[in-house]
Structure 1
Amino acid sequence: MDPARNVGDPAASPGAVLGVPLLLREKVIGVLFAANRRERPFADAEVALLISLATHAAIAIETASLFAEVGAHSDLMERAANAADPHGKQHRRREAR
């Protein structure tokens, strides 16, 4: 059986699935899943590891989002400054000081 052709086929689904929320300030922004082909319970250490990974992933997602937001604001500020001073006179005066 080709696994790529059996997506959604119950016979091809994993035997054990563990999902933990990606939380940011008590808001769920996604879910991190782990799966095993064998039907079995996940050990406490595995659950703790997945929770830790989910916490780090949520922080990384938020950080990337904040960086993108800061970059967009920086571009807007630069465009506004260039529109207000198209020849860069204010910028050159500040550099000369």
Structure 2
Amino acid sequence: MKMLHAPLLVLGLLLCSQGFAATAQQNKMTTCNADATTKGLKGDERKTYMSTCLKAAPVASTTKTLTPQQQKMTTCNATAKTQNLSGDARKTFMSSCLKK
């Protein structure tokens, strides 16, 4: 009877670990589905979006706190992109933006 405990314990651990993996995937599915609904996607557009979203790597950086310098870099990059800057104009803008 005691020899039966070890295999049952291993089997139980395997089932639990699969349950956690399924939960992570289910959470990702829920998030992608909510995003697609928010964007009003339907039909083939929704299928394409869901496929891309589910294949994407988990976003771990959202829980990471950015340093002030990283926040400034993100803001300056976004502004430069909004202004469609490229080449020397972008370099000049980024330099002055990051010095502020």
Fold similarity call, TM over 0.5? no
**Normalised by the size of structure 1, how large is the TM-score?**
0.41
Higher helix share: 2
Name the one with the larger strand percent.
1
- What's the TM-score once normalised by structure 2's chain length? 0.40
The structure with higher relative contact order (CA 8 Å, sep 6+) is 1
Q: Which has the larger radius of gyration?
A: 1
